[in-house]
Structure 1
Amino acid sequence: MSTPSPLQRNISPAARQNALTFCLLGVLIFAVAMFCWLVEAPLAPAAFGLLWIASAVLLFLGIAKLLEPETSLIITPADITYSHRRGQWTLPWEAITRFDAPRVQRGLNLEDLPYLGFRLEDIEVLLQRISPRLMSHVIVEQRHLLALGLRYERPDLRDYSQYYDIPERFIGRSGREYKGLQAMFAVRSQQLRELLGYDIFIHASALDRPLDEFIQYLRQLQSSRQQYL
C-alpha cells in the first residue's frame, strides 16, 4: 500500500463514527430479546416487538455506516476528490470559483443548509470527472435541495414543470452536446446554481468536523496550495 503524500489531506466522514457501536448494540439487544423469549420471560408481546425493531434498526444503521468509504474527501494542492459508495468525482482547484454553505431566505433570516456547495467555472469539467453511478445518485439525492430552493427562493412561481422536465440534451460552453444522464445532471446543476448559488453539493455528514469549521479549513488549504505547486 502506497503512503499518502504529506501534502494530501484525507477526510474521514462523520457518518462512519460509532458504526461498530451501533452494530454491537443491535446484536446485544437481539441477544437479550432471544434469551427472554427462550426462557419465556413474562414480557408483553409488544415489548418483544420493540426489542426486535430496535435491534434491526441499530444493525441497519451500523451496517450503513460501515458501507461508507473510510475517506470521503482527498484534498491535494492540485484537486479535490469526493468518494462515495456509488462512485467519485474529482475537481481541479482551478475549476472552483467559490465554495460555502448554501443559504435560503426564510422570512427575514438567511438559514444555512447542511451542505458544502461548490460553484464551478464550467460544469463540463465535472461532467468529465464524475462516475455515472454517482451522477445518477446525485440527481435523485438532491431533488429535495431543488424543492427547498423553489420553495424559498421562488415562492412566486406556480408552475414548476420546467424544473422537473427531463432535458433531451445539454450544450456545454465548449459547444459539445451532452445527452441522457449527463444532460440531466448538467441541467440540474444549472438549476441549483440559479436557486442556491452552487453547482454541486456535499452533505455535512461526509465531513470530519462542523461545517463552518471545515469551510475555514478548506479556505486555508486553498490559500496555501500555491506554494506547493
Structure 2
Amino acid sequence: MTKSVNNESVKLRATANQHAVEFMLVGAIAIIVVMLFVLLRPTPISKVEIFIASAGIVAIIIGFFKSQEPYFSVEINCNNLIYWHKFGFWRLPRNNLVEAGIPKSIQGEFELELNAVGIKIKDIDEFLLSLSPRLAAKLLIEQRHIFLQAVKMHCENGNCPEDWLIEDSAYCSPSGKKYSGLLAMFGNRMAHFKLATGYDLMLTETVLDRDIWRFANLLNHWKRDPERVLNQLQQSLLRSK
C-alpha cells in the first residue's frame, strides 16, 4: 500500500498500478536473453525460446499500460473523496455520501458479490454536473463488465429489460433535471446500478489500495469522522516508511 500525505489530504495508490517498471524490465531481460541464445548458436530458435520471448513482450505491454495510469488513484481529505483517472477525475463531497458497501445478492445457498465498492449518493445532480463527459465515456466502457455482473445478479431468471444493456442518451434525474449525451448515459447507468444493487456508483477493486471490504469500511468511517480516518491513514504512512 502506497500513500502520500499532502497537508490535509491522503492519496492512495492502487495495487493494480504498481510494478510497471518491474514488468517492463523483466520482459526486456527475457527478450535480450533469448536473442543472445539465438545469435550465439547455430541451431534454430526453439519453441521454448519463442514462448519466453512472447511472454517478455506481453510483460512489456502490461508494464507500459500500468505506467500510463495515474500514480495515485484515490485522494481523501476532510471534505471530499476524489477518484483520479488518466482521463480526468470525479469528486464526491462527504455530505453527498450516504454509505458505502459491497453489492451482493443471495441466489439459493450462495451469496454473490461484485468485485467493487458500491457508493450511495444523496444528490445525483451534484455528482453529474461535476463529471466531465470524457471521463463518463471511459467509465461507461471500463465498468461494463461490472454492470453486466450486477444485471446477472439482479435478474436471476435472465429476463432483464433490454434497455439496460444500452444506456439511453436522455436522462431525467430524481430531482427532475434533464441531461443529454454522455452525462445522460452515465446517469442511466447509475440508475440501473441503483435498481440492480442499491448503489449508484462503483469503485472497482483494481483502483483501490486495499480489499473492497476494508475500503468500504474506510469510507463509512470517513463519513462519520473524517479527521480520525485521515489521522489513522497518516500514521499508517509514517509506520510504512
How far apart are residue 75 of structure 1 and its match? 0.5
CA distance in 2, matches of 1:217, 1:98: 11
TM superposition outliers: structure 1 runs of 4+ over 6 Å: none
- Residue 4 (structure 1) aligned to one of 3, 6, 22: 6
Q: What is residue 119 of structure 2 aligned with on the other side?
A: 118
- When residues 107 and 72 of structure 1 are mapped into structure 2, their CA distance, relative to the original with a 3 A threshold, is same
- When residues 146 and 210 of structure 1 are mapped into structure 2, their CA distance, relative to the original with a 3 A threshold, is closer
- When residues 222 and 166 of structure 1 are mapped into structure 2, their CA distance, relative to the original with a 3 A threshold, is closer
- When residues 168 and 64 of structure 1 are mapped into structure 2, their CA distance, relative to the original with a 3 A threshold, is closer
SS in 2 for 1:37: helix
SS in 1 for 2:203: strand
Q: What is residue 23 of structure 1 aligned with on the other side?
A: 24
The amino acid of 2:35's aligned partner reads: M
Q: What is residue 148 of structure 1 aligned with on the other side?
A: 149
Counterparts of residues 1-229 of structure 1 (less than 5 Å): 4-5=6-7, 7-40=8-41, 42=43, 44-158=45-159, 160-225=161-226
SS in 2 for 1:88: strand
Structure 1: tracts of 5 or more residues without a match:
none
- Judge conservation of contact 2:114–2:149 (CA < 8 Å) in 1: no
| Count of matched residue pairs | 225
How far apart are residue 159 of structure 1 and its match? 5.3
CA distance in 2, matches of 1:226, 1:14: 25
- Judge conservation of contact 2:169–2:182 (CA < 8 Å) in 1: no
SS in 1 for 2:176: coil
The amino acid of 2:65's aligned partner reads: A
The amino acid of 2:10's aligned partner reads: R
How far apart are residue 36 of structure 1 and its match? 1.4
How far apart are residue 101 of structure 1 and its match? 1.7
CA distance in 2, matches of 1:17, 1:226: 28
Structure 2: tracts of 5 or more residues without a match:
231-241
- Judge conservation of contact 2:100–2:219 (CA < 8 Å) in 1: no
- When residues 221 and 152 of structure 1 are mapped into structure 2, their CA distance, relative to the original with a 3 A threshold, is closer
